[in-house]
């Protein structure tokens, strides 16, 4: 069972968080579906789609406890989610944040290469697949590390201090804050 944490956010803040996460998730998934299914779109940039996919994955991870029926309101001590769902959420969040950060880096590199080099140079053949694959390679490493650490030390998988998401609360993951660990 994850460790219990105190709830610092108000009910309104928590509701706003989940509403915005769900809106973002729906819009990102709709954008991705349109990009992949539309025949009128001639050119799809993989780095932009990667960024949208990693952010949609984050929104799914952020909403995972809500989907599992865990909704903290601030008026009571929230019930503790089961270990598998808590670990799954922590791993998804760590993976998606790492992939999103690397996707932004890949997008900036793609734009820089597009401005400074022609598409006919010798590196253009490998550049696209490399920039599209890099975020998922880094995200995959974070997935393996966070899953292994969570399974190795089950007591480090905790409900974070705001009780909205689970985290691997281990010094390896820098003060149990996913954005710091992924950075």
Q: Residue 176: its pLDDT value, please?
A: 44
Predicted pLDDT at 6:
47
What percentage of the chain carries pLDDT values higher than 90? 34
> Would you say residue 113 has pLDDT above 80?
yes
Size of the chain in residues = 183
Q: Indicate the pLDDT class of residue 107, thresholds 50, 70 and 90.
A: very high
**What is the pTM (predicted TM-score) of this model?**
0.78
Burial class (CB in 10 A: 0-12, 13-18, 19+), 91: buried
**pLDDT value at 76 more than 60:** no
Comparing 120 with 104, the larger pLDDT belongs to 104
pLDDT of residue 68: 83
| pLDDT > 70: percent of the chain | 77
Query: Out of 3.40.50.620, 1.20.1070.10, 1.20.1050.140, 3.60.20.10, which CATH number does the structure's domain 11-182 have?
Result: 1.20.1070.10
**pLDDT value, residue 78:** 54
Closest CA to 65 of 100, 92, 28: 92
Instruction: Check residue 46 and give its pLDDT.
Output: 84
Does the pLDDT value for residue 103 go beyond 90?
yes
Residue 143 has pLDDT above 80, yes or no: yes
| CA 102 distance to own-chain centroid | 11
Give the pLDDT confidence score for residue 75 in this predicted structure. 45
Mean pLDDT of the chain: 80
Residue 9 reports pLDDT greater than 70:
no
Domain boundaries, the chain: 11-182
Handedness of CA 160, 166, 171, 173 (dihedral sign): negative
Q: Is the pLDDT of residue 92 over 80?
A: yes
3-state secondary structure the chain: CCECCCCCCCHHHHHHHHHHHHHHHHHHHHHHHHHHHCCCCCCCCHHHHHHHHHHHHHHHHHHHHHHCCCCCCCCCCCCCCCHHHHHHHHHHHHHHHHHHHHHHHHHHHHHHHHHHCCCCCCCHHHHHHHHHHHHHHHHHHHHHHHHHHHHHCHHHEEECCCCCCEEECCHHHCCCCHHHHHC
pLDDT at 10: 72
* pLDDT tens readout for residues 26-62: 999 999 998 888 878 777 788 888 999 999 999 999 8
């Amino acid at each position: 069972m994850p460790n219990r944490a105190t709830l610092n956010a108000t009910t309104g803040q928590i509701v706003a968080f989940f509403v915005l996460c769900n809106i973002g998730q729906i819009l990102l998934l709709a954008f991705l579906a349109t990009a992949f299914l539309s025949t009128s779109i001639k050119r799809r940039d993989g780095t932009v789609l990667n960024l949208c996919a990693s952010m949609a994955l984050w929104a799914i991870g952020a909403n995972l406890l809500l989907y599992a029926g865990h909704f903290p309101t601030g008026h009571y001590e929230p019930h503790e989610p089961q270990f598998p769902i808590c670990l799954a959420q922590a791993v998804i969040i760590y993976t998606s944040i790492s992939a999103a950060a690397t996707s932004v880096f890949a997008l900036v590199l793609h734009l820089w290469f597009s401005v400074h080099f022609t598409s006919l140079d010798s590196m253009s053949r490998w550049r696209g697949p490399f920039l599209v694959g890099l975020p998922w390679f880094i995200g995959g490493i974070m997935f393996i590390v966070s899953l292994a650490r969570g399974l190795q030390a089950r007591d480090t998988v905790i409900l974070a201090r705001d009780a909205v998401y689970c985290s691997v609360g281990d010094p390896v993951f820098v003060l149990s804050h996913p954005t710091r660990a992924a950075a």
